[in-house]
């Protein structure tokens, strides 16, 4: 990770399995199918970290032997919002862990000249304001798309927000946490820098292309 001050809202997930799988994900010889599988496995492990502080309540149940009071998730559950299209590569793994979560999608593309995000699609659950919303996108590069997505979700009523990505650049972390300092950000690595084309270095290439074999 770069030797710079990181904001308190940032969490880098250093679990050995996450870091091992991330290394395999980065390698250029990793096939499309293997890349997709690894991204799904990492996102499941990330979901464990993202949800470790969910509130619990007590429920009266019966085991095969006797009644008991047992912990269960309290209130409305999660909503996972994927930033299209690459966010779906993280979404599926998180749904493996929390299959009852609601799902939303926001479509943003980066204008190649201005690098400004342009929204072209938004579909959210009606009760998004009542749920913890986890926004997912594999790469936090410039940070502009992620910041725009969080702004749009706030406009839609979301109050409990978290952002998760596989990789981040210091520039993206600065933009996102500057625009939304109260939103926790989770990543597996903060890489060195962005290059002149706004790619994360050393990175892993274009996550969408590698997930879907489109390049």
Which residues define the annotated binding site? 85, 110, 137-145, 200, 205-207
CA–CA separation, 106 and 103 (whole Å): 10
Active site residue 26: no
Active site residue 110: yes
Catalytic one of 23, 111, 209, 214: 209
For the chain, state the CA radius of gyration. 18
Catalytic one of 53, 63, 113, 114: 114
Catalytic one of 37, 110, 130, 192: 110
What's 7's DSSP letter?
A: P
Binding residues for uracil are 200, 205-207
Number of Cβ within a 10 Å radius of residue 111: 10
Active site residue 206: yes
CA–CA separation, 104 and 91 (whole Å): 10
Helix (H, G, I), strand (E, B) or coil at 162: strand
Phi-psi region of 115 (alpha: psi -120 to 50; beta: other; left: phi over 0): left
Binding residues for 5-phospho-alpha-D-ribose 1-diphosphate are 85, 110, 137-145, 206
Task: State the Cα angle at 158 between 184 and 58, rounded to 5°.
Answer: 80
CA–CA separation, 142 and 175 (whole Å): 7
E strands, 65-191, in order:
67-73, 78-84, 102-110, 117-123, 132-136, 139-140, 160-168, 185-190
Active site residue 114: yes
Query: Could you give the residue numbers annotated as active site?
Result: 110, 114, 206, 209
């Amino acid at each position: 990770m770069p030797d710079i001050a990181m904001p308190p809202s940032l969490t880098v997930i250093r679990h050995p399995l996450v870091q091992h799988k991330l290394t395999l994900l980065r390698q250029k010889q990793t096939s499309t199918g293997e890349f997709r599988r690894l991204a799904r496995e990492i996102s499941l492990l990330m979901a464990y970290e993202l949800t470790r502080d969910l509130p619990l309540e007590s429920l009266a149940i019966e085991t095969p032997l006797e009644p008991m009071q047992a912990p269960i998730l309290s209130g409305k559950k999660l909503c996972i919002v994927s930033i299209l299209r690459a966010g779906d590569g993280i979404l599926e793994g998180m749904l493996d862990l929390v299959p009852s979560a609601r799902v939303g999608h926001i479509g943003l593309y980066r204008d190649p000249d201005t690098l400004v995000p342009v929204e072209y699609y938004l579909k959210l659950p009606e009760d998004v304001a009542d749920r913890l919303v986890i926004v997912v996108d594999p790469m936090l590069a410039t940070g502009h798309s992620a910041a725009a997505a969080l702004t749009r979700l706030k406009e839609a009523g979301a109050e409990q927000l978290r952002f998760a990505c596989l990789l981040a650049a210091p520039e993206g972390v600065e933009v996102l946490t500057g625009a939304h300092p109260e939103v926790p950000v989770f990543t597996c690595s903060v890489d060195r820098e962005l290059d002149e084309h706004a790619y994360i270095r050393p990175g892993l290439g274009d996550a969408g292309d590698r997930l879907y074999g489109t390049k």
